[in-house]
Amino acid sequence: MNLAELNKVAEAMVAPGKGILAADESSGTIKKRFDAIGVESTDESRRDYREMLFRASEGMKNISGVILYDETIWQKAKDGTPLVEIIKKAGSLPGIKVDEGTKPLPGCPGELVTIGLDKLADRLPKYYEQGARFAKWRGVIDIGPHGLPSYTCIKANAHALARYAALCQVAQIVPIVEPEVLMDGEHSKHSLVRSFEVHEWTLKHVFEELSNADVRFEEMVLKPSMVIPGQKSGQKAGAREIADATVTVLMRWVPAAVAGIAFLSGGQGNEEATLNLNEINRVARERKAPWPLTFSYGRALQQPAIGAWRGDDANVKAAQAALAQRAKMNGLAALGEYSPELEKQPALVRA
């Protein structure tokens, strides 16, 4: 294990003004997004869409790394160039989603555990050889009725995250550790206070398991959810309230040694995710938080681009400009320098 090289990659992933593009949608998820714009989901259409994103030169300036789906890491562009090489040429790091989704957790009705640890030790060296320098594993924690989440659910997912992270570091791959406390879904009626409580509980056990597995904090990136009320709660929290709660829970439970934190957007709107990230950075600066705080967004970066693209080559420049706009706005938010007024200045970025 080359710790110096791992640390170099981890620090590059959370470089100032940059964040991570999550382009690791499963085939089922991207099919739903293509259905919404009237595009058939095929190997070729998925490749063309992602190639369009990775060739967006302005947009990629604010992207430190790209999380890929297994299909994508092996694909080549229309001209035969491997997509991972296009990402590297743009100055970004290729990464790979390695979990295999979720399954019902036995004995815990309504709860899930992430699978994919079997043969992961065999898969990781192949991904490294293909160019991946970091990986991602997502654990799902749902706040539901009757006291959910259960201790069993949190413990099982925290343990899986830790085993995954340890395997990654041995394979010379930086792990993104993603314990997502859902803000949307069937049971999303929880308050900000309840969200805070579950985030505390989750992070406590995640870092306990990471420590037990001898995972090096300096060579990992945390990808948490923000502390936000459930979408069906009827409660609307302001950006400052969300930032105060999020920074508080992080400073209580995340070791200072962690290389950086890259938030997921969850069910937030595009500009909402940017505004909240910006406020989190401002609060973190006030409280002298020890880590860089940036984004690892999927839909919140891609939604305007896929809407502009619609499967038509004639729309590529417009789609790339849309990605560039969101990447630039979130890059500013990662520095605490974003303002909603900047959204009215589309000339700020070009495709």
Active site residues: 178, 223
Judge contact between 285 and 337, C-beta under 8 A.
Answer: no
Judge contact between 264 and 224, C-beta under 8 A.
Answer: yes
Q: Under 8 Å CB-to-CB from 64, ≥6 apart: which residues?
A: 12, 13, 14, 15, 18, 19, 20, 92, 93, 294
Find the distance separating the first CA and the last CA of the chain, reported in whole Å: 39
CA–CA separation, 29 and 299 (whole Å): 11
CA–CA separation, 55 and 32 (whole Å): 23
CA–CA separation, 6 and 173 (whole Å): 7
Structure tokens at 105: 């957790």
The DSSP element (H or E) to which 8 belongs, if any, is: helix 3-13
Nearest-10 crossing angle of helices 27-36, 43-54: 80
Cα distances from 284 to residues 177, 240, 244, 289, in angstroms, run 20, 11, 9, 5
CA–CA separation, 269 and 246 (whole Å): 18
Judge contact between 199 and 249, C-beta under 8 A.
Answer: yes
CA–CA separation, 351 and 170 (whole Å): 39
Find tokens 């620090």 and name the residue.
11
CA–CA separation, 26 and 152 (whole Å): 27
Strand partners, 22: 67
Q: Which of 40, 7, 350, 338 is nearest to 174 (CA)?
A: 7
